[in-house]
Amino acid sequence: MEVRNFSEVGRITHLLLKRPEDAFLSQENLNKHWREYGFLGPPDFKQACAEYDAFAALLGGSVPNLHYLNAAAGAGLDSLYVRDALLITEGGAVLLNMGKPLRRGEPHAAARFLSEVGIPVLGEIQDPGRVEGGDVVWFDRNTLAVGQGYRTNADGIRQLAEILPDTVSHIRIVPLPHWKGPGDVLHLMSLISPLDHDLALVYSSLLPVVFREWLLECGIALLEVPSEEYDTMAGNVLAVGPRDCLMLSGNPLTRELLEDRGVTVREYDGTHVSRLGAGGPTCLTRPLFRWD
């Protein structure tokens, strides 16, 4: 399979997913492991599967090719959030190395899918380096922003720069705040969701000033997530194409903000697949090919 991804807003034509049946496995497995994975509560397995089917149906209306990872040893509850294990570039994939110890088996589980469909692996982040996909944001073919925090470290970013094709000439390192500490999940994409080449949804209260100013210097207009909707994951929005997005339901202020700027919005109910595991639509998906 040919892959191409150097943007977060180009039209998605191939998308990687993983069903709850293959990540959560069963209600018994959820009841046993949700605490150690840091979930806010135990998802209901049947509800999670129903929510995910509706989510995938929404995606299928815009994305012609949906691909799914299978259940795999070493890939637990968090493997539902497929973005974090891989980075897709122009021509191949990078296997990442998870900052959360319980997720360390996910990249190699995903590598089996890559081999089956003929996607080359360009490289792999090795210990002690750490990079999670939620910390990596494409802005164009030459420019990548990487959040440095508890899930992605300096050595991982250094290795990523060495692996990436020569066309990636600018990696912008974004220091992330402590926020709720190392046990919580705070990725760069918890703070910014690109919507178009010149538009992004951001939570400026946690953005470094230098990075925010750089976004504005790049000509990117910033829409501010209302503070009262940040904890309900309003800022985690997946662009399936320019100004065409999916978001979690229950964030009416943010939805109105997006629609007022000409963004098409579709919502899904993600109580059991998103809110309890702190993984929104960008986390649940790994684009493999975007037309940009």
Fold of 11-291: L-arginine/glycine Amidinotransferase; Chain A (3.75.10)
Structure confidence at residue 183 (pLDDT): 86
**Portion of the chain with pLDDT greater than 90, in percent:** 96
Average of per-residue pLDDT values in the chain? 97
Q: What is the mean pLDDT of residues 242-259?
A: 98
Taking 90 as the threshold, does the pLDDT of residue 115 lie above it?
yes
Cβ 56 vs Cβ 100: under 8 Å: no
pLDDT tens digits along 275-286? 999 999 999 999
The 10s digit of each residue's pLDDT in 70-93 is 999 999 999 999 999 999 998 899
**What pLDDT does residue 215 have?**
98
Report the 3 state secondary structure along 254-290.
HHHHHHHCCCEEEEECCHHHHHCCCCCCCCCCEEEEE
What's the pLDDT at 165?
82
pLDDT for 11-28, tens place per residue? 999 999 999 999 999 999
CB atoms within 10 A of CB 38: 15
Residues 284, 185: Cα–Cα separation, whole Å: 14
pLDDT the model gives residue 2: 87
> Alpha-carbon distance 153 to 146, whole Å?
10
Q: What mean pLDDT comes out for the span 131-142?
A: 96
Average pLDDT, integer, range 210-215: 98
Burial of 254 (0-12, 13-18, 19+ CB in 10 A): buried
Q: What is the mean pLDDT of residues 260-275?
A: 98
Confidence tier at 38 by pLDDT (50, 70, 90): very high
Residue written as token pair 């300096």? 154
pLDDT tens across 160-205, in order?
A: 999 998 889 999 999 999 999 998 889 999 999 999 999 999 999 9
pLDDT at 270: 98
Q: Average of pLDDT values for 52-77?
A: 97
What would the mean pLDDT of 234-251 be, rounded to a whole number?
A: 98
b/e map of 202-237 (b: 16 or more CB within 10 Å)? bbeebbbeebbeebeeeebebbebbeebbebbbbbb
The percentage of residues in the chain with a pLDDT greater than 70, rounded to a whole number, is: 100
